[in-house]
Amino acid sequence: MNDQESDDKVDLEELFDSSVEHEPTPMGERVRRTADLTLVAPARVALTDWRAVVGTLILFGFFLAGTAGVVLVDRPTSGDAPILAPPFQNLNYILGTDTFGQPIGAQLIHATPAMFKMIFAGAVVSIGVAALVGLLSGFMRGTVVDTVLMSVTDIVITIPGLPLVIVLMAIFAPKNPYVVGVLLGLDNWPGLARTVRSQVLSIRQESYVEASRIMGLSTGTILRRDLLGQLMPYITINSALASRRIIFESVGLYFLGILPFTTFNWGVLMNLAYKGGALNRPQMLHWLIFPMVTIFLMSFGLVLFSQGMDSVFNVRLRARHASTTSDNSAMDQGQGDGDV
């Protein structure tokens, strides 16, 4: 908790500096400080929370599979191995093979990069739109812009996401994983946008902001300084939850066969196995089960990570702004639209 104190002192110094004559902090110092605040301190707290540790490990495992794994394991092709080999028999296809003789393990690994692309695109779109809408309407509170943006937000919250996404997918039939991610991210921003807006509003009301305003700093400068730190928890946790949602939806759509089968995808595997009647044929069951386990693992990692981060940030927030009465954790606010 010593970092905490030093952080606050730094803030205070900056405050006083600016009242006399504002000298910008050296770039290196600023980077170091930001790194300390946003990376080192949370990491240290995160190590004490088992959920954060396990979640991060799982996600790192998937990261390895998506980068090194793709290089190390050959891209599966038909006839690589005997068809429908049972799992845990042969080291070359340890998870068994499908009806085309493609090793299931290799397919799972080669589906990971596309998954990451989707998640990345989806998270960037949803977080980006959310930040843009939230900041704009927060800054322009009470204006027409605010009213319009918030109405749009409410409308998007209400429109059932999945049917809309399905219609979009049916019309555009996207093949590129980035495009799939963007389309999935399109209806995922309103919750975070509202959070960002209320954070902007609450920062404007805090007493130290009032003080810096009296000292002559512009509202913009103050918000820039404090907003990022304040929003980090929400952005991190929402990214994790948005990722989980994108996995659920994309796999669901591939599983239904609504998205074109262009690449390897866990949902495609499930679709082929399910359509092939894996539920009724014990010798095919592994074809269905391993993709499901993979999806579970990845979202379990994401959920653990978000919950761990939630408590990490809560500890930090509580220490920093003991006076603010925000009992709601970022988790609660993200959860509402995290479902689906």
Minimum gap (Å) between residue 170 Cβ and another protein? 5
Residue 178 is encoded by which pair of tokens?
Answer: 């980035």
> Count residues contacting another protein (CB under 8 A)?
54
* Of positions 114, 125, 232, 244, contacts another protein by CB under 8 A: 244
* Of positions 255, 264, 287, 313, contacts another protein by CB under 8 A: 255
**According to CB under 8 A, which residues from 50 to 79 bind another protein?**
51
The burial class, CB within 10 Å (0-12 / 13-18 / 19+), for 319 is middle
CA 223 to each of CA 109, 199, 219: distance values in angstroms, whole numbers, following the listed order: 43, 10, 6
* Of positions 110, 197, 286, 316, contacts another protein by CB under 8 A: 197
DSSP, collapsed to helix, strand or coil, labels residue 47 as coil
* Of positions 47, 57, 83, 170, contacts another protein by CB under 8 A: 170
CA 160 to chain centre: 21
Kindly state whether residue 303 participates in binding another protein, applying the rule CB under 8 A.
Answer: yes
The span from the CA of 44 to the CA of 339, in Å, is 30
* Of positions 158, 205, 207, 323, contacts another protein by CB under 8 A: 158
From 282, 325, 290, select the one nearest 105 (Cα to Cα). 290
Residues 6+ apart with CB under 8 A from 101: 78, 79, 80, 81, 82, 83, 85
The span from the CA of 116 to the CA of 65, in Å, is 11
Minimum gap (Å) between residue 173 Cβ and another protein? 9
Residue 48 is encoded by which pair of tokens?
Answer: 């004490």
Q: Which stretch binds another protein (CB under 8 A): 20-28, 40-48, 93-101, 293-301?
A: 293-301
* Of positions 166, 186, 215, 315, contacts another protein by CB under 8 A: 166
* Of positions 159, 228, 275, 318, contacts another protein by CB under 8 A: 159
* Of positions 302, 312, 317, 330, contacts another protein by CB under 8 A: 302
Q: Is 297 in contact with 244 (CB distance < 8 Å)?
A: no
* Between 69 and 308, CB nearer to another protein: 308
Kindly state whether residue 145 participates in binding another protein, applying the rule CB under 8 A.
Answer: no
Residue 333 is encoded by which pair of tokens?
Answer: 């606010």
The span from the CA of 186 to the CA of 281, in Å, is 39
* Of positions 168, 179, 215, 227, contacts another protein by CB under 8 A: 168
Kindly state whether residue 179 participates in binding another protein, applying the rule CB under 8 A.
Answer: no
* Between 230 and 299, CB nearer to another protein: 299
DSSP string, 193-219: HHHHHHHHHHHHHSHHHHHHHHTT--H
Residue 42 is encoded by which pair of tokens?
Answer: 């949370």
DSSP, collapsed to helix, strand or coil, labels residue 101 as coil
* Between 35 and 167, CB nearer to another protein: 167
* Of positions 131, 299, 313, 317, contacts another protein by CB under 8 A: 299
Q: Which stretch binds another protein (CB under 8 A): 63-71, 98-106, 119-127, 291-299?
A: 291-299
- For residue 328, the tally of other CB atoms under 10 A from its CB is 11
- What φ, ψ does residue 103 adopt, rounded to 5°? -65, 130
Kindly state whether residue 154 participates in binding another protein, applying the rule CB under 8 A.
Answer: yes
Kindly state whether residue 171 participates in binding another protein, applying the rule CB under 8 A.
Answer: yes
* Between 110 and 194, CB nearer to another protein: 194
Q: How many residues does the chain have?
A: 340
From 329, 323, 324, 316, select the one nearest 7 (Cα to Cα). 316
* Between 176 and 198, CB nearer to another protein: 198
E-only strand ranges, the chain: none
What is the binding site for another protein (CB under 8 A)? 51, 151, 154-155, 157-164, 166-168, 170-172, 191, 194, 197-198, 201, 244, 247-248, 251-252, 255-256, 258, 270, 274, 279-280, 288, 292, 295-296, 299-300, 302-304, 307, 327, 329, 332, 335-340
